[in-house]
Chains A and B, each alone.
Chain A
């Protein structure tokens, strides 16, 4: 192709489009490559009429394209018109296959084998990119495809669809729609529920299954695919069936391989083409969710290739558009341009003593705090956007013991004192400048273990959980440092007894972190062993075999330790300890602990005391052994049921005693009336065992699944341990899909109702509880768009009197409990089993 472009932009999403608009405005020769026939495919694929939000609201938009919150159609129309008016050169149906060359002379090859020459390349391809591939072995001649264009073209085939997201279900339904095609369609779901698909799709799928039009395999994974045959691992063992074609719709991963191979050199390794290490675009770590390493001007490790937008780690539209603008300015030689987040960062540093600029502050923090040392300036900027930096006067409290919080603190200047003894505040341990604290809350999600005060005037960085996790994935050194410090602190805090960190050297060297999947034991009754296990995250249940049946003894949250009895008293393990949910334990070698105990008799004394209470419980069980009957059986099975229902990872859960529940739904009505007219719980839905009902309502997990992927970072843990969603929610629905308990709903706030008395006396409005859709629709203010946002239980935080559902239960059926209050056999002693 004749002519070389100054800038080639790959991907026409918000970032790419904004970059192209800037280039057009500056009169730079450019080309925007889009693989489909329309701009901004990701937003194009949003459902019709979806409300697109513009967060973070404090961020100023700096782009030649306009953008404000509104309906998908309107945003796409505006962009299309502006792209046309701004004379952006777009090339549609140009899917880039490879990029070769070097700065000033790149060759871009499309899947149609067209080539485009460009001096610089801006990658703005987002992360939707590449479908997740089938991981099981695929035999020769087997047909596996990741897309289905026209379901009508397959006739008389045995087709297996993998994945029960919306795409998978729609494909399966499409293939089975017409009986004349005589396809035998099977859809495979890894779990028993269809958590990731829209309700309507799930209903349609179940109806099709009931009508016998297709088969649904639940709790099944694929073991192997061969020509004409597929093998599954199911709950009941392996199953083989005929299969002519596999359609895999299992989500997508960032298009990492493509990006890495850009402008890379290749060599032959054992007959395969492999990238020469150190060439191409480098990523920050091997982690699946890591991002390319970027300079402050968004340049990758390959000069001339720039990465912006979601692929650079910025999923929000405004960020993307600003970066599109900025990157073209940078390429055009504008080096004085300050990033658009400058005002936000300035406000972060405004209240600190000393007059430093943003860059100086970032450098100050990076060089002073050990775990931040390996960060790039761009990473530091992003890191500080998610973090707070504060100045504390001498003696000021940073946080109190038992306060909830999952953030990590780093000391940039000064030092702090930890009050290790709750009954005597004068006993303190110092933590020096450059170090971190608060990591126990970060790792276990549990409350703070000690009060911390500033020992002198100090500058502390509070790193949000999100930012801390990102930090650990981007900077391996930071991860190792945080891990070691956290183990050491956890041990010191747990054992107390005047232990100092130097005493623990040997124990720490022998410590190893073990991941335990749910239901797997760390200690088995009757086996030999003298290691101690510290529960780092997750939770464990303790069981003992009585009369051939496992009896549920107790529930151990993160921060507890087990295994001391065999260590001190010798003998075999007296009970089985297994993970209630996916957990992490620290295994400490018995010998190392014994050595420390020999040096520190106070520690031995403390462990002995802890052990005594457990021995009491064992003795109690032994004594009751013969009379153990229905009561204990019931207790054990109820406890197991609750653990299965995810109560093991809960911090606070709503239970309903169905011996008392009269089904008046006053809890739901109270919930709706306390929160903008929308109920956050579904009383009737959910599992029941022995009349104990776990309704569909938030459990406020230790490690909330909903927080995992929230683009505006709108989900937080509040002061009473509640997990809540703030008003910056963009309504993307990620949290709803990530929640394994289905407790998050997406809905628009209904209009305000008339008061209770005017309903009671004059019949105005819909009465107590959530108004019906029809009423909301009829009474909506015309012209006011109410976007659908994620809503979930916030434990009525800020409402005097506590959770409305419990207060409003007329019979006392609704109760809220923390699992450790509930899951202990010792309750039997009080006759409450």
Chain B
């Protein structure tokens, strides 16, 4: 290539890998080896009468598992504390995912496959809920961002809302000359909260009672058989309603995707706290009955 006179810092050799591929799957490798070691140890160590959480191996696995859980919880702090220093939240997330997955192996081996209706199994069950919700989250993180990006087409969320408002204002003005029953339809579209209806609506992205769609359909029925004269205010309202529906669709998809990217956290995080409570009870009770 043509010459550069000043060579610059070499940067960006690992410019571009996501949290799952971080540093050539470093944490996946570490955690796989670690889990394999645990499995091999489980197979080789002879515990009589059978494997359980109270053997020395059980204690070792239990201690490791408990420390892992605490460390995994610390991601919430790390994410929010913008301290100085050479740390990367991407590396933390990567480790969080793979260490969290390895917990399935560690904790299951710790139980020695003894389950019952007690606080110990409750802690295990809560942990599995957290891990499964986390796996769902990773799945969403891996698949949804590009859809989110394609859907918004360089518009920001405030811009979408502004666009909606602007159409609403124009609808309000344009609907003034309409007949009463038609104006009522438009008013319905203006007055309805187009994103209300709760979590399931938002996650599904389906709004069966959408007043805008109803108004648009009704007005289209009015205009369908009328000759286009160009000056009829109803044509303008029709066009505005079509535009509003399009932008509504976009915002709803946007909100749906954003909600999906977040909704799993509403299980993941609270259950984590329940898990820590159950885990504390589990540890205390174990030592109490020792």
Q: Is the CB of B2 within 8 A of A560?
A: yes
Chain A residues whose C-beta falls within 8 Å of the C-beta of B118 in the assembled complex: none
User: Which of B1, B7, B87 has the most chain A CB atoms inside 10 A of its CB?
Assistant: B1
Chain A residues whose C-beta falls within 8 Å of the C-beta of B18 in the assembled complex: 657, 659-660, 811-813
A752 at the interface (CB under 8 A from B): no
Chain A residues whose C-beta falls within 8 Å of the C-beta of B48 in the assembled complex: none
Chain B residues whose C-beta falls within 8 Å of the C-beta of A373 in the assembled complex: none
Q: Is the CB of B3 within 8 A of A494?
A: yes
Q: Is the CB of A821 within 8 A of B89?
A: no
Q: Write the nearest CB–CB distance from A424 to chain B, whole angstroms.
A: 16
Q: Write the nearest CB–CB distance from A683 to chain B, whole angstroms.
A: 9
Q: Is the CB of B3 within 8 A of A560?
A: yes
Q: Write the nearest CB–CB distance from A186 to chain B, whole angstroms.
A: 20
Q: Is the CB of B2 within 8 A of A658?
A: no
Q: Is the CB of B82 within 8 A of A817?
A: no
A693 at the interface (CB under 8 A from B): yes
Q: Is the CB of B5 within 8 A of A808?
A: no
Question: With the chains together, A392 CA to B170 CA distance in Å?
Answer: 70
Query: Which A773-820 residues have C-beta < 8 A from chain B?
Result: 799-802, 804, 806-813, 815, 817-818, 820
Known: A684-B157, A691-B149, A810-B90. A817 touches B15 (CB 8 A): yes
- The total number of A-B Cβ pairs within 8 Å is 162
28 A-B pairs (CB sep. < 8 Å): A207-B166, A447-B8, A448-B6, A449-B6, A560-B3, A560-B4, A658-B148, A660-B18, A662-B145, A662-B261, A663-B148, A663-B258, A663-B261, A673-B82, A674-B82, A691-B149, A693-B149, A756-B77, A756-B80, A756-B81, A760-B77, A760-B80, A768-B80, A810-B19, A810-B89, A810-B93, A813-B18, A815-B15
Question: With the chains together, A756 CA to B149 CA distance in Å?
Answer: 31
A466 at the interface (CB under 8 A from B): no
Known: A821-B8, A822-B12. 9 other contacts (CB 8 A): A663-B145, A682-B156, A684-B152, A693-B149, A760-B77, A800-B85, A809-B90, A811-B93, A832-B16
Bitwise interface map of A from 673 to 695 toward B, beta carbon under 8 Å scored 1, else 0: 11000000010111110010100
Q: Is the CB of A449 within 8 A of B86?
A: no
Q: Is the CB of A561 within 8 A of B145?
A: no
- Nearest CB in chain B to that of A769: its residue: B80
- Nearest CB in chain B to that of A817: its residue: B12
Q: Is the CB of B90 within 8 A of A812?
A: yes
B250 at the interface (CB under 8 A from A): no
Q: Is the CB of A813 within 8 A of B145?
A: yes
Q: Is the CB of A666 within 8 A of B2?
A: no
Question: With the chains together, A542 CA to B6 CA distance in Å?
Answer: 19
Q: Write the nearest CB–CB distance from A797 to chain B, whole angstroms.
A: 12
Query: Which A183-228 residues have C-beta < 8 A from chain B?
Result: 203, 207, 210-211
Chain A residues whose C-beta falls within 8 Å of the C-beta of B166 in the assembled complex: 207, 210
Query: Which A427-452 residues have C-beta < 8 A from chain B?
Result: 446-449
Q: Is the CB of B154 within 8 A of A493?
A: no
- Nearest CB in chain A to that of B75: its residue: A810
- Nearest CB in chain B to that of A560: its residue: B2
A557 at the interface (CB under 8 A from B): yes
Known: A560-B2, A810-B19. A211 touches B170 (CB 8 A): yes
B231 at the interface (CB under 8 A from A): no
A402 at the interface (CB under 8 A from B): yes
Query: Which A494-512 residues have C-beta < 8 A from chain B?
Result: 494
Q: Write the nearest CB–CB distance from B165 to chain A, whole angstroms.
A: 10
A residues with a Cβ closer than 8 A to B are: 203, 207, 210-211, 401-402, 446-449, 490, 493-494, 542, 554, 556-557, 559-562, 564, 610, 613-614, 617, 657-664, 666, 669-670, 673-674, 682, 684-688, 691, 693, 756, 760, 767-768, 799-802, 804, 806-813, 815, 817-818, 820-822, 824, 826, 832
B17 at the interface (CB under 8 A from A): yes
Question: With the chains together, A742 CA to B194 CA distance in Å?
Answer: 32
Of A559, A808, A817, the contact of B89 (CB 8 Å cutoff): A808
Top 5 nearest A-B pairs by Cβ distance?
A658-B149, A673-B82, A684-B156, A812-B90, A800-B84
Known: A658-B146, A799-B84. A821 touches B2 (CB 8 A): no
Query: Which B140-171 residues have C-beta < 8 A from chain A?
Result: 141, 144-146, 148-150, 152-154, 156-157, 162, 166, 169-170
Q: Is the CB of A811 within 8 A of B141?
A: yes
B79 at the interface (CB under 8 A from A): yes
Chain A residues whose C-beta falls within 8 Å of the C-beta of B7 in the assembled complex: 402
Bitwise interface map of B from 254 to 266 toward A, beta carbon under 8 Å scored 1, else 0: 0000100100000
Question: With the chains together, A556 CA to B5 CA distance in Å?
Answer: 11
Q: Write the nearest CB–CB distance from B234 to chain A, whole angstroms.
A: 17
Q: Write the nearest CB–CB distance from B267 to chain A, whole angstroms.
A: 17
Known: A800-B85, A815-B16. A821 touches B11 (CB 8 A): yes
Q: Write the nearest CB–CB distance from A796 to chain B, whole angstroms.
A: 9
Query: Which B249-281 residues have C-beta < 8 A from chain A?
Result: 258, 261
Q: Is the CB of B1 within 8 A of A658?
A: no
Question: With the chains together, A810 CA to B8 CA distance in Å?
Answer: 28
Known: A658-B145, A813-B18. A613 touches B11 (CB 8 A): no
Of B2, B87, B92, the contact of A564 (CB 8 Å cutoff): B2
Of B5, B12, B19, B169, the contact of A560 (CB 8 Å cutoff): B5
Q: Is the CB of A768 within 8 A of B3?
A: no
